[in-house]
Structure 1
Amino acid sequence: MCSRNHLPAPLPRLSLLSLTCLLTLCVHPRTLPADTLSVPEKYQTIQSAIDAAQPGDTVLVAAGTYYERLRLKPGLTLKSVGDESRGERGLKRAETTIIDGSRQKEGAGVLLAENAVLDGFTITGVGVYDEQKWNHHHATRGEQQSHEHIGAPGTPGIAIMDVTCTVQNNIVHHIGYTGIAAQATAGKRCTPHIYRNVCYRNMGGGIGSMHDSQAVIEENTCFENFYAGIGHDDASPTVINNTCFENIRAGIGISEGSCPLVRGNKCYRNRRAGIGSRTGANTRPLIEDNECYDNGMAGIGASESAAPLIRNNRCYQNRLAGIGSQSHASPTIIGNECYQNGQSGIGQQGDAVTTLINNYCHHNKTAGLGFADCKSGRSTVVNNRIIDNAQVAAGVHSGWTVLFLGNEFARQGGLPPILMVFAGADVTLTGNTIRGGGVAGIRVAGKLRAENNEFAGTSLRKVGPPNFGVWALPGAEVTLTGNRFHHWRHALSASEATVMASLNHITDFHRTALLIQNPQAPAHVFNNVAVSSDPQVEVLTLTGQAGTVKGNALRKPDTAPDKNQSP
């Protein structure tokens, strides 16, 4: 039992000021000011300075070559000494401050940490760069490359794993894998800002965003990389205002279920597409406001069931199409300008399913819109301007079912038809304008339904090569309803075809408005109107089977009253 005599002596009384100070220290511990650790002035190696640093500190590294591989700490800034002066490829301070990983075997060149900053270094010597292999696949346009995922295991120059950080102003080259790789593991976030870096001659992509990464990839320059300049594997980053050129595959490659925003980039002279999306219906990027030119294949390509939204891009002078779709891709293509491409402005093949709206395709070397042979392709084509392409405005080959609605198809000169519907194709035209010369407005060997279109010939050619609004070849099936034809030798010339023509209005023709010879089935021609002041012309010349032929009328042109004539 304790007694009063054994109680400890009372503590000395604290003053009010002392008590206040003590409580302040407990509740608000003192924050030390950020420190700057200098390499090599105070620390011989960069890693030793990193190990000594605290969150908020800056490790400042002087110019030189450092044979290290680095692991950053959270909240640390690692920066090279110097200002923002430009050098040959990037900032001068980045060019002269080199992290060379060639003397170590393990780990990335630099492994980032949460809220860390990596600013202004050259990173090289990580893994094996194979010059012979690079040259071989460059020469073969990547056709013989293995189709490895960009997210396949490897050791990058800069690794960003499950962190938010900043990687800026660095130069990453001659890495045996991807230059800068960002990825998240299950349930974690990876949201770095990858800004104004230069990545070239790496054996993977220049920059890779993988496995749920949500990076912001901005204003980087990526060139001569073994795969894409910027690549995606199951990731949804924001990719804006980058420049990607002379990469062996695409300038920007999107695959494996990635859904990035790709905006404002410039992609040129890549060995394959400027921007490519592939591998699955869950690959659904938004590709908008980019400039893609002089690429070895398409300016923008979609394949392997990818479903991109391709909007407001400029694609020109590419070796193949401005925008190309193949292998069951289902892109939506809106408001793009495609011109001076080696093949079509917009080209489709391989059972693609496409939607084309408000695009402008002009001065391409083959078709404005191309639909190559396939088994079962479908396209809806609405309100596009397809002008002055070297061959046809649109060529629809076997296997395609295409709806053209409200488009303008025109060409100033040349002999090819403006539209060509090949055998095995099924085309519906509603409310379009077909303007120009050549042998025909539409030359048909397949199936055509044309309703409420305007066929505007530029000049009537009475002799010489054909000059028909619609030229139906043997075996064709043609239905013409409510169309307007003018300045064609014949509105319709059909031989050994199946024909129905009704409610069409035809002016400025030669001898006969509708010429049908030996139809395969009874021809149905009714309620058409031909306008001419020549009493010797005919609305219809038909040889062979007649089905319904009635109500066709020849009318004189309307004449306005003389303004000087008295009523």
Structure 2
Amino acid sequence: MCSSNDHRQANIRRLRLLGFGILCVPLLAVSSLAAETIRVPEQHKTIQAAVDASQAGDTILVAPGTYKERIKLKAGLILKSTGDDTKGTLGLKRAEATIIDGGGEQGEGAGVTMAQRSTLDGFTVTNVGVYDDAKWNKHHATHGEQQSHEHIGAPGTAGIGVIGVTCAVTNNIVHHIGYTGIAIQSAPSKRCSPHIYRNITYRNMGGGIGSMQKSTAIIEENICFQNFYAGIGHDDASPTVINNTCYENIRAGIGISEGSHALVRGNKCYHNRRAGIGVRTGGETRPIIENNECYENDMAGIGTREEAAPLIRNNRCYKNKLAGIGSRTHATPTIVGNECFENGQSGIGQQSDAVTMLINNFCHHNKASGIGFAPCKAGRSTLINNRIIDNARVAVGVNGGWTVRLVGNELSRKGGMPPIMMVFNGSEVTLTDNIIRGGGVAGIRVAGKIRAENNEFAGTSLRKVGPPNFGVWALPGSDVTLIANKFHHWRHALQASEATVLATRNKISDFHGTALVIQNAKVPANVFDNTAISANPKDKVVSISGETGMMQGNLLHKPAD
């Protein structure tokens, strides 16, 4: 049997016979012509022995079998299992049949350590370090709530290690590793951009794939499931993460933290024990999360917290147990053009002093609110041009501690008794150029403070008797300013009791009896220059009991012919 060195010498002799002086042949051409295919176990019993005998440009083909070793590749080397790309039970058949067994606690280094410009194609890598099934089951049962908060950049021994090199890792299956399945990080002063493509990672005691320490990998079309942390995790890295599938991981399907600026696009994240995609730890964590599908996760579809500042756009988040998109603990996301529906709580939910910008989202058929704001100390949000349709309770619910501005939104519900919008005590809401449409007890039921200007309150089922049916229902202690709004098909445009009221230049039609009703005013109610339209001359524009202030210019008009 000839050695690889014998093959190289034969190539050199052939060049001489053809009349080429070896010293005159460009080095690149010699390297290309001298590239060899080395076979394991025919020529070398172990993979590492074949690697040691190889040089850049060589291809090592490995026959099916179990190889109990850990591999350290050389630069420019291709390591590939034999066979074609026929599908097997989980991955490719050749990957399932060609196994690198790292020996558990025995041995040093990753199962496979990649080198610059090297390729690893079509292997199963397993049994590197200690996989702990009891620990996995414990934390799966508790949604990872009792896991340590050690970030994925902590030291460990990976199934496949990509440290400071640009390389290709493709068609591999990595499972039952005591740490992260595929770990990527840049070396000091040397960033790497490997291509991690069509691998399967599962049941690893870290993440399925971990992108760390300034690396800029392309992580594409991988399947990551049942990993101890995230399916794909980021720690101070900026990879491109596209078209992956992440499910049943103990934490998020995709986790982004510690200053990462990842581009996360076109992924499917479902049935994860926490969020489908989770973003956290600091204002320098600024990923772009777009065109992903996050569904049936045990927490939010996409969740952001701890001052993180992602751009979340054009995603579909549905049937998650909590919010479709959730923000908390001082997170500052910009949330644009997403569709959130049939989630267990809000379509988009905010809590604990988040600061959010919500633009052009479509939130419908969620089991609580379309957009919800849970009680906090000092949260802020701006809502622009969102459609918030047919949610089970309210379109928008604003609890105490929030300052919220709504511009150009559509809030509506076809049936049901709850108000379209609820503004709780301790909150402050400004509404401009919105349409609030539906029935129920009110367009807006307010216990806090609102200023509404140039909005349309469109009732759909005027009730003259029975449960309340008011455009704005102002509860005791509330503060209501209504300027230049249109109200129609409500029993009263305003029903206020023991509230502070200013109402001017509003236009009210299709009401019953009195357009603006203010009872037991404790401070002067200022109601002036409003117009009510009714064919019944007995109808009134305004009725006030208690303290009155400015009352001029309120007019009752007949409808136009």
| TM-score normalised over the length of structure 1 | 0.94
Give the equivalent residue in structure 2 for 1:293.
295
Classify 1:22/1:404 alpha carbon distance in 2 versus 1 (closer, same or farther; 3 Å): closer
Contact 1:238 1:262 (C-alpha < 8 Å) held by counterparts: yes
Report the 3-state secondary structure (helix = DSSP H, G, I; strand = E; otherwise coil) of the residue aligned with 1:545: strand
Give the equivalent residue in structure 2 for 1:380.
382
CA distance in 2, matches of 1:106, 1:133: 23
Classify 1:29/1:157 alpha carbon distance in 2 versus 1 (closer, same or farther; 3 Å): closer
CA distance in 1, matches of 2:115, 2:190: 14
Within a 5 Å distance, the mapping from 1:387-398 to structure 2 comes to 387-398=389-400
Give the equivalent residue in structure 2 for 1:497.
499
Give the equivalent residue in structure 2 for 1:63.
64
Classify 1:91/1:537 alpha carbon distance in 2 versus 1 (closer, same or farther; 3 Å): same
Give the equivalent residue in structure 2 for 1:273.
275
Give the equivalent residue in structure 1 for 2:77.
76
Give the equivalent residue in structure 2 for 1:284.
286
Query: CA RMSD, aligned part only?
Result: 1.3
Within a 5 Å distance, the mapping from 1:503-522 to structure 2 comes to 503-522=505-524
Give the equivalent residue in structure 2 for 1:87.
88
CA distance in 2, matches of 1:128, 1:27: 45
1:340 Cα offset (Å): 0.1
Residues 1:541 and 2:543 are matched in the alignment: yes
Give the equivalent residue in structure 1 for 2:14.
none
Give the equivalent residue in structure 1 for 2:328.
326
Within a 5 Å distance, the mapping from 1:423-502 to structure 2 comes to 423-502=425-504
Give the equivalent residue in structure 2 for 1:400.
402
User: What amino acid is the match of 2:236?
Assistant: D
CA distance in 2, matches of 1:449, 1:515: 18
Q: Give CA-to-partner distance per residue, 1:331-381, whole Å, 9 cap, x none.
A: 000000000000000000010000000000000000000000000000000
Rg (Cα) greater in structure: 1
Classify 1:433/1:29 alpha carbon distance in 2 versus 1 (closer, same or farther; 3 Å): closer
Give the equivalent residue in structure 1 for 2:355.
353
Give the equivalent residue in structure 2 for 1:8.
none
Classify 1:555/1:152 alpha carbon distance in 2 versus 1 (closer, same or farther; 3 Å): same
Report the 3-state secondary structure (helix = DSSP H, G, I; strand = E; otherwise coil) of the residue aligned with 1:301: strand
Report the 3-state secondary structure (helix = DSSP H, G, I; strand = E; otherwise coil) of the residue aligned with 2:30: coil
Which of 114, 119, 122 does residue 112 from structure 1 map onto? 114
Within a 5 Å distance, the mapping from 1:160-309 to structure 2 comes to 160-309=162-311
Give the equivalent residue in structure 2 for 1:15.
none
Give the equivalent residue in structure 2 for 1:557.
559
Contact 1:475 1:520 (C-alpha < 8 Å) held by counterparts: no
Q: Give CA-to-partner distance per residue, 1:61-107, whole Å, 9 cap, x none.
A: 00000000000000000000110000111000000100000163211
Residues 1:153 and 2:160 are matched in the alignment: no
CA distance in 1, matches of 2:176, 2:433: 56
1:185 Cα offset (Å): 2.2
Give the equivalent residue in structure 1 for 2:100.
99
User: What amino acid is the match of 2:93?
Assistant: K
CA distance in 1, matches of 2:139, 2:280: 20
Give the equivalent residue in structure 2 for 1:16.
none
Q: Give CA-to-partner distance per residue, 1:520-551, whole Å, 9 cap, x none.
A: 21000000000000011100011111110100
Report the 3-state secondary structure (helix = DSSP H, G, I; strand = E; otherwise coil) of the residue aligned with 2:50: helix
Q: Give CA-to-partner distance per residue, 1:390-418, whole Å, 9 cap, x none.
A: 00000000000000000000000000000
Classify 1:346/1:29 alpha carbon distance in 2 versus 1 (closer, same or farther; 3 Å): closer
Report the 3-state secondary structure (helix = DSSP H, G, I; strand = E; otherwise coil) of the residue aligned with 1:191: coil
CA distance in 2, matches of 1:26, 1:290: 49
1:425 Cα offset (Å): 0.3
Contact 1:278 1:306 (C-alpha < 8 Å) held by counterparts: yes
Classify 1:27/1:285 alpha carbon distance in 2 versus 1 (closer, same or farther; 3 Å): closer
1:25 Cα offset (Å): 4.7
Contact 1:357 1:384 (C-alpha < 8 Å) held by counterparts: yes
Report the 3-state secondary structure (helix = DSSP H, G, I; strand = E; otherwise coil) of the residue aligned with 1:49: helix
Classify 1:96/1:20 alpha carbon distance in 2 versus 1 (closer, same or farther; 3 Å): closer
Classify 1:26/1:204 alpha carbon distance in 2 versus 1 (closer, same or farther; 3 Å): closer
1:146 Cα offset (Å): 0.5
Q: Give CA-to-partner distance per residue, 1:121-179, whole Å, 9 cap, x none.
A: 00001000000000000000001111111110000000001111000000000000000
Report the 3-state secondary structure (helix = DSSP H, G, I; strand = E; otherwise coil) of the residue aligned with 1:319: coil
Contact 1:454 1:485 (C-alpha < 8 Å) held by counterparts: yes
Contact 1:418 1:440 (C-alpha < 8 Å) held by counterparts: yes
| TM-score normalised over the length of structure 2 | 0.95
Give the equivalent residue in structure 2 for 1:369.
371
Residues 1:30 and 2:30 are matched in the alignment: yes
- Consecutive unaligned residues of structure 2, counting only runs of 5 or more, are 1-18
Classify 1:534/1:76 alpha carbon distance in 2 versus 1 (closer, same or farther; 3 Å): same
1:54 Cα offset (Å): 1.1
CA distance in 1, matches of 2:424, 2:109: 58
Which of 133, 136, 148 does residue 134 from structure 1 map onto? 136
Give the equivalent residue in structure 2 for 1:13.
none
CA distance in 1, matches of 2:44, 2:307: 54
Classify 1:272/1:211 alpha carbon distance in 2 versus 1 (closer, same or farther; 3 Å): same
User: What amino acid is the match of 1:428?
Assistant: T
Classify 1:406/1:180 alpha carbon distance in 2 versus 1 (closer, same or farther; 3 Å): same
CA distance in 2, matches of 1:43, 1:519: 94
Give the equivalent residue in structure 1 for 2:53.
52
Which of 337, 342, 345 does residue 344 from structure 2 map onto? 342
User: What amino acid is the match of 1:45?
Assistant: T
CA distance in 2, matches of 1:23, 1:321: 69
Report the 3-state secondary structure (helix = DSSP H, G, I; strand = E; otherwise coil) of the residue aligned with 1:181: strand
